[in-house]
Amino acid sequence: MLSDAERQAATEAILQAERSLIPCVQPSKQWPAMELDDAYDVQRRWAAARIAQGAKVVGRKIGLTSRAMQMASKMTEPDYGVILDDRLFKDGARIEAGLFIKPRLETELAFVMGQDLQGAGCQMHDVLRATEYVTPALEIIDYRTEVPRAIVDTIADNAAYGAIVLGGRIFRPFDTDIRWIGATLSKNGVIEETGVSAAIMGHPAAGVAWLVNKLAALGDGLKKGDIVLGGSFTRPIDIASGDVVFADYGPFGSIGLSFA
């Protein structure tokens, strides 16, 4: 475990990396005693600092939802971070690539909550009942720390959250079997990745239920109106200035964006 001063120092290092666009030394390398609780506390301090600067938390993101990514990170469960409104974009956006250090992009589904959801014992059907609608989304991931990274580095770095792009059409969660939503992810006219949403823990709502149970231990939960990114079902692709990205979700619409 880290001291309060060490946790604050780790927070300041990540904030500085975000401002300067120069990755900081991994917290796990500077403070080898760092544990998961330390990392999540650093994440909360980072979010508090960003809120003090004027940002607003509008939801949560879930990462490491695929078994392959968990094994690569030597984890047995997902991780999570917060979504801030100053990095929230819509379909058709032209985004400055210079906002990020080394951005990559993934296809996801976003759950928008129709009511509060909190408490231990949350199940998938609880998530579906509490969700107002689901919509296709893209997540831009960006790391503020150097490589190689331990899982505590990623968690402290707000689970590598960079930005979210919402698009496609909205639909109610009981209107379709959301396990079988497929997508192709293209860059500059070339399909780079394909996937199906069942890759997210077997069901996209499973990650949201996991998150609610984790937050319950902290006396927290999801609020009405929260956006929840359920996890990626394609591998991330690198993006840079000049790239044009198109994600096709078939009958559930598409998302297009470009990077300046």
Locus of tokens 């392959």: 68
Q: Cα(56)–Cα(47) distance, rounded to whole angstroms? A: 9
Report which DSSP code applies to 225.
T
Locus of tokens 């969660």: 173
User: In a structure prediction context, what are the per-residue pLDDT tens digits for the chain, which is 260 residues long?
Assistant: 999 999 999 999 999 999 999 999 999 999 999 999 999 999 999 999 999 999 999 999 999 887 656 665 566 789 999 999 999 999 999 999 999 999 999 999 999 999 999 999 999 999 999 999 999 999 999 999 999 999 999 999 999 999 999 998 999 999 999 999 999 999 999 999 999 999 999 999 999 999 999 999 999 999 999 999 999 999 999 999 999 999 999 999 999 999 99
User: What string of DSSP letters covers 116-173?
Assistant: -EESTT--HHHHHHHEEEEEEEEEEE---B-SS--HHHHHHTGGGEEEEEE-S--B-T
Q: Cα(231)–Cα(236) distance, rounded to whole angstroms? A: 11
Q: Cα(105)–Cα(194) distance, rounded to whole angstroms? A: 13
- Is the whole model's pTM more than 0.85, yes or no? yes
Residue 109 in contact with residue 128, Cβ under 8 Å? no
CATH code, residues 58-259: 3.90.850.10
How far CA 253 is from CA of 37, 47, 61, in Å, comes to 39, 32, 21
